[in-house]
Amino acid sequence: MEKRLEYISWEEYFMGVAFLSAQRSKDPTTQVGACIVKDNKVIGMGYNGFPKGSDDDFMSWEREGDILNTKYPYVVHAELNAILNSIKSLDNSTIYVTHFPCNECSKAIIQSGISEIIYFSDKHKGSDSTKASELILKNANVSYRKYEGNKLKLEVLFKD
């Protein structure tokens, strides 16, 4: 028998894991996922959500109005969750993220030792947060680039 040819690449695999992780998010507007990889092994995963133990029904997912009644001061970003959930040293690892990291996550990425970022969406390009991220990441020699896999959709069938 010949080997199967439809297998996915490493890059498609890990970005797929990041997008799958995003499916755990309860944010009704934006679901973000992250997957940290070293030597082609997953060592951390995360998605955006309120801190552990928060009562979801008490927290608000609002985006506008009094800042204290919005999600923004409380939600933990996917990248930070992936770092905090990681199972070993992140030195020289790669983080796959569905969205380009904000400046706060970029600082955490640098401090954790991650050396490469592969992102899918940069829909906030040009914003102050993205500009600040680009500046500190370049300054700290953390490389970043857009996803280069061919797959834009992966189907996961639960079957025998």
Ligand X SMILES: Nc1nc(=O)n([C@H]2C[C@H](O)[C@@H](COP(=O)(O)O)O2)cc1CO
Note whether 45 binds ligand X by CB under 6 A: no
**What's the rounded Cα separation, in Å, for the pair 130 and 114?**
18
Note whether 137 binds ligand X by CB under 6 A: no
Single out the residue of 90, 138, 144, 105 nearest to residue 121, CA to CA: 144
Dihedral sign of CA atoms 127, 128, 129, 135 in order: positive
Binding piece for ligand X, criterion CB under 6 A, among 35-43, 77-85, 143-151, 152-160: 77-85
**What's the rounded Cα separation, in Å, for the pair 37 and 17?**
11
Pick the closer one to Zn ion by CB: 17 or 34.
34
Note whether 99 binds ligand X by CB under 6 A: yes
Q: Which of 62, 79, 116, 155 is catalytic?
A: 79
| Residue ranges that bind ligand X, judged by CB under 6 A | 27, 29-30, 32, 48, 63, 71, 75, 77-79, 99, 101-102, 105, 124
